[in-house]
Amino acid sequence: MDTELDPPRTGPTPLGDAGLRALLEGLSQGVALFDASRRCRWFNPAAAAMTHGLVEAARERDVVELIAERHGNEAAARFASALTACLADASPQRLSYWPFKDAPQPGDGMTRWFDLDFARVELDGAGLHAGNGVALTLSEVTPHVRAQRALAESETRGRALAGTVPDLERAEEALRASEHRLRWLVDNTTESIWRFELEQPIPVELDEDEQIALCVRHGRFAECNQAMAFAHGFASPADMVGLRLTDLLPVDQPRNRDFLRTFIRSGYRLVDYEIELLGPDGRPRHLLNNLMAQVVDGHAVRGWGSSRDITAYRTSEAAVREAEARLRLAICAADIGTWDYDPASGEMRWSERLAEMFALDLSDRLGMDAFVARIHGEDRERVRKLVMHAVAPGSDGAFASEFRVLAPQGVRWVSGKGRTTFAVDGSAQCFLGAAIDISERKRGEEQLGRKARELERSNAELEQFAYVASHDLQEPLRMITSYLQLLQKRYSALFDDKAREYFGFAVSGAERMRAMIQAVLEYSRVGRREGATVDLDAGKALRDALDNLRAKISASSATVVAQALPRIRADPVRLTQLFQNLVSNAIKFRRPDAAPSVRIAAAEGEREWIFTVADDGIGINAEAHERVFMLFQRLHTADEYPGSGIGLATCKKIVERMGGRIWVESQVGAGATFHFTLPK
């Protein structure tokens, strides 16, 4: 069978991202990927079935050696020639009518024929393959070959039997049986097969244009199979008999004239010529044609043709190219560099962006050691161990690390992630990965950390100052208050009413100042004292707070109603203080004409508990809902409602220190409802 190396027809075929794996695995054609060492990197199920395990065995061995064992040295030499030529200059190669035996040993099994197409694949570390390799496509042509052989066998048997007069009847019967088998094969193959007759023989020495004109004028379809009829929108082969060649190939279209011209130039023997035409559904179709004519005494008299619909293959190619373009665009837009490490050969390939990150030459083919050598000395050994673990048999194959790279422009931070694929025997096949420059992010994190430390130090100093100042101010203020009260007591009789009023103002102001200093001291203690977070009963903390407020509740005739509260993790002292401040606040800002009523409840959220302290007091203007939680913010005068303006600020600080948040819902005259959350 003819297996000559045909000239190239198309450019290199790229292979795209992993999203196309399912598409390739679903093809009826066989697809296998070979690397420069002539070992199979990947194959789809069709390839495994067509080659009877040869591509699978080629994972571990040179495919040319396997072909030599199964099909002989001559076949191995032709296969190696095509594979080497494709790798050397990226030109597609074809081996037509390539035989594969069903059995692994020469001389055994049944032979099936395939067309083998070799196309170079080049990717930068993405998709199913990386680097220089060859994609092999197998298309079965066994029905066509068997039809040709059956025809030749039929003619040979006919001549042999006809020469023996006594056996003529048996010869005719055998010939009819052979023709019946051949007809069945032609009618049932999926390839389109047809015969055309030239009503007037065409001299082959005429000018090409004259021969084209005669083909157009005298060529008519004489017979075809069902596949041919269906392919062109006819119900049966009989509907095509008598049609002119130009009914299917209008010569006013340049590509059809080129097809006929190429047919004539080939000596009326055209092999694997691809054309594109519109199918019955109006969609473009790609057909691979074989066409030959019978030439008698220098005249073409009739011809036979076959065509295979390769639209699905071309569509897959286009999808692969489009997916690869999208992937390359996404990688470029994301400023990502990629690498491909072959543990078997020790060779490492990288993309242009990764070469830029690591100050590498794109054409270099260095090993892992040279690659790791460009990593900062403090990170180098750690990264090397992570890589070795990722490619070690039995590992999950994952790699992820952030490390520094020594580049000409200075030290750069890089985040790398990779994954190793393993063979059936557990050995590492390839280690693919991607890296992105995170230097700006690292600088931002460093600046943020520095600012956070500065803020923490400043807050600590401020809290310390507030604590010391408020603590040290209490003693002289207490002395002032005591002496004022002493003067008022001993010399009150010497003062007139105005002087006594002034003394009252002074004592009252000193008392308010003392209360404010005490509140500031308590506020600062929230930041200074971090109590233990324990599992506690929130109801117990509330009861302790109400005990502290017993006199205030009694004096105001307040009613406090609490639902059952949950167990939570919190600082018991601060939780008690929080409840005490909120309930005290609710009692203070009551309506003058009614005893205050306070309601406490809790509701469970997905990740937190939501507590509520509601009252029926004077309410809060909506514009002040945020302001009430700020230090020294008072909505009323001290004469109306005495206080320091620090209580709710302290509540906010306590809640936030325990990982929650606090807010208020209120309208003037309609009471206020304070909500705060604590994590579960």
At residue 192, φ and ψ (nearest 5 deg) are -80, 130
Can you spell out the DSSP letters for 586-654?
HHHT--TTS--EEEEEEEE-SSEEEEEEEE-SS---GGGTTGGGSTT--SS-TTTS---S-HHHHHHHH
528 pLDDT band, cuts 50/70/90, is low
The verdict on residue 326 lying in a domain is: no
> 């690397």: which residue's tokens?
35
Q: CA 451 from chain center: how many Å? A: 35
Does residue 535 share a domain with residue 665? yes
491 pLDDT band, cuts 50/70/90, is confident
Cβ atoms within 10 Å of 214's Cβ, excluding its own:
18
470 pLDDT band, cuts 50/70/90, is low
Does residue 673 share a domain with residue 539? yes
80 pLDDT band, cuts 50/70/90, is very high
Does residue 418 share a domain with residue 404? yes
Confidence (pLDDT) at 564: 92
Domain boundary among 500, 529, 558: 529
Name which residue leads in pLDDT, 582 or 180: 582
Indicate the number of domains in the chain: 5
Cβ(576)–Cβ(662) under 8 Å?
A: no
- Mean pLDDT over each residue of the chain, to the nearest integer: 82
Does residue 347 share a domain with residue 309? no
Instruction: Please name the residues in contact with 276: beta carbons below 8 A apart, sequence gap of 6 or more.
Output: 255, 284, 285, 286, 287
Domain boundary among 391, 410, 437: 437
> 């509701």: which residue's tokens?
603
Mean pLDDT of all residues in 19-37: 79
The three-class DSSP label of residue 548 is: helix
The three-class DSSP label of residue 189 is: coil
Confidence (pLDDT) at 220: 92
pLDDT at 362 over 90: no
Lowest mean pLDDT segment, chosen from 11-20, 257-266, 447-456, 588-597: 11-20
Mean pLDDT of all residues in 574-587: 91
Cβ(564)–Cβ(540) under 8 Å?
A: no
336 pLDDT band, cuts 50/70/90, is confident
pLDDT at 265 over 50: yes
Most confident listed range (102-106, 135-139, 371-375): 135-139
Does residue 432 share a domain with residue 455? no
The verdict on residue 146 lying in a domain is: no
Lowest mean pLDDT segment, chosen from 7-21, 44-58, 173-187: 7-21
Name which residue leads in pLDDT, 166 or 176: 176
Name which residue leads in pLDDT, 382 or 357: 382
Does residue 524 share a domain with residue 540? no
Confidence (pLDDT) at 127: 44
pLDDT at 291 over 80: yes
164 pLDDT band, cuts 50/70/90, is low
Query: Please, where are the H alpha helices in 529-549?
Result: 538-548
- The proportion of the chain whose per-residue pLDDT surpasses 90, expressed as a percent, equals 28
Does residue 592 share a domain with residue 522? no
The verdict on residue 60 lying in a domain is: yes
Question: What is the domain range of residue 89?
Answer: 5-141
Q: CA 358 from chain center: how many Å? A: 25
The three-class DSSP label of residue 31 is: strand
Can you spell out the DSSP letters for 290-359?
EEEEEEETTEEEEEEEEEEE-HHHHHHHHHHHHHHHHHHHHHHHTTEEEEEEETTTTEEEE-HHHHHHTT
Name which residue leads in pLDDT, 197 or 183: 197
Confidence (pLDDT) at 468: 67
Lowest mean pLDDT segment, chosen from 282-286, 558-562, 657-661: 282-286
pLDDT at 205 over 80: yes
The CATH number of the domain holding residue 519 is 1.10.287
> CA 370, CA 382: separation in Å to the nearest integer?
15
Can you spell out the DSSP letters for 44-111?
-HHHHHHHTTHHHHTTTS-HHHHHHHHH-HHHHHHHHHHHHHHHHH---EEEEEEEEESSSSTT-S-E
Instruction: Please name the residues in contact with 58: beta carbons below 8 A apart, sequence gap of 6 or more.
Output: 32, 34, 38, 39, 40, 66
pLDDT at 2 over 80: no
This prediction's pTM = 0.38
Name which residue leads in pLDDT, 604 or 106: 604
pLDDT at 15 over 50: no
> CA 170, CA 163: separation in Å to the nearest integer?
12
Find the helix or strand (DSSP H, E) in which 559 lies: strand 559-562
Does residue 258 share a domain with residue 394? no
Confidence (pLDDT) at 379: 92
The verdict on residue 321 lying in a domain is: no
pLDDT at 510 over 50: yes
DSSP tag of 244: B
Does residue 456 share a domain with residue 423? no
Nearest to 259 by CA among 231, 230, 201, 219: 219
pLDDT at 482 over 90: no
The verdict on residue 174 lying in a domain is: no
- The proportion of the chain whose per-residue pLDDT surpasses 70, expressed as a percent, equals 84
Confidence (pLDDT) at 23: 67
Does residue 537 share a domain with residue 519? no
The CATH number of the domain holding residue 217 is 3.30.450.20
471 pLDDT band, cuts 50/70/90, is low
> CA 486, CA 506: separation in Å to the nearest integer?
12
Instruction: Please name the residues in contact with 161: beta carbons below 8 A apart, sequence gap of 6 or more.
Output: 167, 168, 170, 171, 172, 174, 175
Does residue 539 share a domain with residue 502? no
Confidence (pLDDT) at 521: 67
Name which residue leads in pLDDT, 482 or 84: 84
Lowest mean pLDDT segment, chosen from 24-33, 283-292, 364-373: 364-373
Cβ(72)–Cβ(106) under 8 Å?
A: yes
The verdict on residue 175 lying in a domain is: no
Instruction: Please name the residues in contact with 456: beta carbons below 8 A apart, sequence gap of 6 or more.
Output: none
Mean pLDDT of all residues in 42-53: 89
Confidence (pLDDT) at 319: 84
Confidence (pLDDT) at 639: 57
Domain boundary among 410, 437, 464: 437
Question: In Å, how far are 63, 111, 337 from 76, measured between CA atoms?
Answer: 9, 16, 39
Confidence (pLDDT) at 466: 66
Find the helix or strand (DSSP H, E) in which 438 lies: none
> CA 366, CA 363: separation in Å to the nearest integer?
9
Does residue 513 share a domain with residue 425? no
The verdict on residue 165 lying in a domain is: no
The three-class DSSP label of residue 425 is: coil
The verdict on residue 319 lying in a domain is: no
Cβ atoms within 10 Å of 468's Cβ, excluding its own:
12
pLDDT at 337 over 80: yes
DSSP tag of 13: -
Q: How many residues does this entry show for the chain?
A: 680
Mean pLDDT of all residues in 66-89: 89
9 pLDDT band, cuts 50/70/90, is very low
Name which residue leads in pLDDT, 512 or 263: 263
